[in-house]
Chains A and B, each alone.
Chain A
Amino acid sequence: QKEVEQNSGPLSVPEGAIASLNCTYSDRGSQSFFWYRQYSGKSPELIMSIYSNGDKEDGRFTAQLNKASQYVSLLIRDSQPSDSATYLCAVMGEYQLIWGAGTKLIIKP
């Protein structure tokens, strides 16, 4: 059973600080990794995709991938209250995305 694990949280971070979200996966052969943001009652929205080891930066967001250790992380710099949401990690399996259950992030003003 291929799995993606995330801490369910909630993770509480002060406004302006760095939020760090982590995800581990079991399928060593996975090649594609994604972070989606989901506000309560809304659908998932793609934040970042990453395909190779290392860091990928997009604005305030940085995705980090370490295939040897089978983890992927998302850093959010200068956290804003609008970043409060559930962050879903997804990893491409053989033919479908394998989803984590998400980490609830709360940014406190």
Chain B
Amino acid sequence: DAMVIQNPRYQVTQFGKPVTLSCSQTLNHNVMYWYQQKSSQAPKLLFHYYDKDFNNEADTPDNFQSRRPNTSFCFLDIRSPGLGDAAMYLCATGTGAKNIQYFGAGTRLSVL
């Protein structure tokens, strides 16, 4: 089945230790999104790619970076995680048509 796959599902890191979250898709969608979601809050958009065009939200901390080496893969790098970065990180894809977004299962990040 075509899908959006996030790895790992759970990630534990230490304060200040860099971490990379990955997302892959078999939907061949040209748009990919990274969201951060904390408990009982709405998803917060961090970045999105339209093909290779990278769009960084104005309030995304500099600590967060992203790479999209090809259509299928996208990475979220957190350079120096702080306790406040503990959250669920969601990857989503879309075609732009009808603005529908399809989510992966998410990565739960814990920072010790």
Q: Which residues of A contact B (CB under 8 A)?
A: 4, 8, 32, 34, 41-46, 49, 51, 88, 92, 95-97, 99-102
Nearest residue (CB) in B for A96 is B45
Residues of chain B at the chain A interface (Cβ within 8 Å): 40-43, 45, 48, 55, 88, 90, 98-106, 108
Q: Give the residues in chain A near B98, CB-CB below 8 Å.
A: 32, 49, 51
Number of A-B contacts (CB under 8 A): 43
B41 surroundings in chain A (CB, below 8 A): 101
Can you sample 11 A-B contacts with CB below 8 Å?
A4-B42, A32-B98, A34-B100, A41-B108, A43-B105, A44-B90, A46-B102, A51-B98, A97-B45, A99-B43, A101-B41
The 7 A-B residue pairs with the shortest CB-CB distance, nearest first, are A99-B42, A43-B103, A43-B106, A32-B99, A92-B99, A101-B42, A44-B103
**Cβ of A42 and Cβ of B40 under 8 Å apart?**
no
For A43, give its contact among B40, B48, B99, B104 (CB under 8 Å). B104
